[in-house]
Structures are given as structure tokens and as C-alpha cells.
Amino acid sequence: MSVINDAVLLESRSLRASVVEQTDALDRVKVLSLLPDGMHVTTAMVAAYFQVGIKAIRSLVLDHRDELEASGYRVLTGTELSSFKELSGIQSRTRTLALFSRRTVLNVAMLLRDSEVARQVRTYLLDREYEARTQPVDNCVHSEPESLDERIDRRITHILGKTVVPMFNALIETSGEQHKELISLRDDVKRIERKLRDHHHRLRRLEQAWGPRPYTGIMASIDAMNWREFEHHVAVLLRRDGCTGIVVHGGPGDRGVDVTALTADGRSVVVQCKSFAPYRPVWSGELQKFLGAAKVQHQADVALFVATTSFTPDARAIAETHGVTVVDRGHLEKWSAGVPLPILQAD
């Protein structure tokens, strides 16, 4: 329960500016998918995050462009757009590209009225602001900082449990005509106490679900890619790890592989890329099919099977037996974050 109504963020630009750096609020509510550069999102991605139409985002930009530009919004054209596409691996024929930084997306959350996700972001910001303002100032030295759990429990126990409710109990015992009204008011106080406790538990769940992660946002951006974008993302990673002669073959007629390349020491590389949902593993039959293409048709020195998901035990056994390197979701996240793939390094 926000003590300050979230409408204040909708109306006050100065208040929005004061919290626009708190971009972690976005991922506390819902994971924000990023472009391969790990820094920006497109208009369509912003609309998807807030579960609204693209027109709603474009209309908001039209009404608040100067504010959004101050928080990082920009439109790329010409050579700047070409350079960005090349560096980020984006495949698009558009002549302009609107980019939103994380700060800009948070700014949108504080302006967008007809979005439940945006409302939840504003509520989270205001809840945290309220906690910061109401935390007692204590100059004593503690061995450990007081937790959010302890602060909320103390406020509820001492203010509601030990003061307000007993006061109502005493009044009810001596009341006459106002007996029913006092009982009703006491019940209202108890409902507020329950809501505060529920709110506290919700915050704790959010904090546990979105605790610090070394590669926050990387897999979310990869999950947002289509199959062709994912293949080009893998090509970028191969190039970063020193490979040359990289060719993306994906689509009909690819002879069972999606990308081919040469390592820095001259070994041939073939890659199969599978952009699957995390709950759908790679099966043994799919591994066997790639094995035939990699070893028989292409006679590859290095066979990579890169997937956005896991591999079944049977698929892993086949890969280990026949020398196929599997890059599952966890390894893909680290590889995308800059950790080199050992198999591609020179001996």
C-alpha cells in the first residue's frame, strides 16, 4: 500500500526526475528485455513490456519528448543507424530506429496511465521512497543494519498492535451510543494491519525473486530475439572470440547447420542454433541430426550446438561421446556476457 498515491508521479516532473535513476524498479516488477547491446530497447519492446499498443508509446513520446530525451530517448538515422546495426547485430531495413535506455523506460512507467505494469512500477518506487523517509534516524552503531522486515514489524506492532487497537478496546468498553461505530473503526485498523503485512510479504518475495545476478537482463534480451536474430547473435559471439570467415546459413537449404566459421588457429567450426523456450529441452534426436551434418557432411573440427534452453541427459551423452560441444542456457548467458568459449581458444 503506497502512502502517496501513484498519481503524484504522473503529475510531477520534478518527482519523476528525482527517481529516474532507480531503474532496478523495472526488473523488480517484470524482466525488461534488452537489445543485443544490453543497453537499449525499441518502441515495440517498450510496448510489450508495459502490455500496451505501440501507438500508446508513440503518443506518449509525442507528448513528452523533451523529458524522455533528457532521460536517454533518441532516434537513430543515417550512418549512426548503420553503425548501430552493425555493432549490435540487428537485422532491420528501417531508415530510423527509436531507442529507449533503461532510464527512459522507467520515465515511461511514470507517465503511462493505462498500464497495470506501469502502475506496479510506480507503486514500487513510492513504497521504497516511503520506507526511506519513515526509517528512524539512529546514530547508534549496530553490528548489522536493521532489515526491512524488522522495521515494518516494529511499526505495525508498536503503532497498531500496542497503541491503536488497545485504545479502541478501552473506548468500546466504556462507550454508549458509539459502540458499533468504534467496533467498526477497530476492525478497519485491523484490516490495515493485515494489508501492511501482506504488502511486506510481497516486497520480500520480490526481493528474493530478483536478487543480485551477475548477468541480469542478458537472457531476457536473447529470449526476445527471433530465430534469425539469435543466429546473428551467435555469429557476433564467434567473431568476438577470434573466429573469421563467419557465414550465417540459417533457413531452408542450410544443410543442417546455421553458422560456419574458422577459429583463430584455423579449425573449422559448424554451429546449430536453437532458440527454444526455457522449458523445452533439446532432445537426443535433434543432437543426432546435427551430429550427422557436422561430422559427416561438413567434417567439422569443432561442432557447437547452442541453445537457449537445457539438453536432456541422452542428448548430453551423445554429445560427449561424439565430441559435440553443447552450449546450454547457463553457458550461453556467460558467453554472451563476455566469458570466452574454451573450445574456440587456440591450444
pLDDT, one tens digit per residue, over 47-65 is 999 999 999 999 999 999 9
139 domain residue, yes or no: no
53 domain residue, yes or no: yes
Rank 8-12, 80-84, 280-284, 343-347 by mean pLDDT and report only the highest: 280-284
What whole-number percentage of the chain has pLDDT above 70? 71
Separation of alpha carbons 269 and 295, rounded Å: 11
Domain termination residue (choose one: 80, 97, 132): 132
Range of the domain at 173: 145-209
Domain termination residue (choose one: 94, 111, 132): 132
Q: How many domains does the chain have?
A: 3
217 domain residue, yes or no: no
- Shared domain for 116 and 18, answered yes or no, is yes
> 206-215, 218-227, 327-336 — which is least confidently predicted?
206-215
Residue 244: per-residue pLDDT: 93
- Rounded to two decimals, the pTM is 0.42
231 domain residue, yes or no: yes
Which residues contact residue 64 at a Cβ distance below 8 angstroms, ignoring those fewer than 6 apart?
Answer: 107, 111
Separation of alpha carbons 64 and 148, rounded Å: 35
Domain termination residue (choose one: 132, 156, 179): 132
- Shared domain for 128 and 36, answered yes or no, is yes
Contact 210, 25 (CB under 8 A): no
Q: Using alpha carbons only, what angle is made at residue 319 by residues 314 and 324, rounded to the nearest 5 degrees?
A: 160
Contact 125, 111 (CB under 8 A): no
137 domain residue, yes or no: no
306 domain residue, yes or no: yes
The pLDDT tens digits of the residues spanning 269-325 come to 999 999 988 878 899 989 999 998 888 888 899 999 999 999 999 999 999 999 999
Which residues contact residue 293 at a Cβ distance below 8 angstroms, ignoring those fewer than 6 apart?
Answer: 255, 256, 257, 270, 272
Distance from CA of residue 275 to its chain's centroid? 18
70 domain residue, yes or no: yes
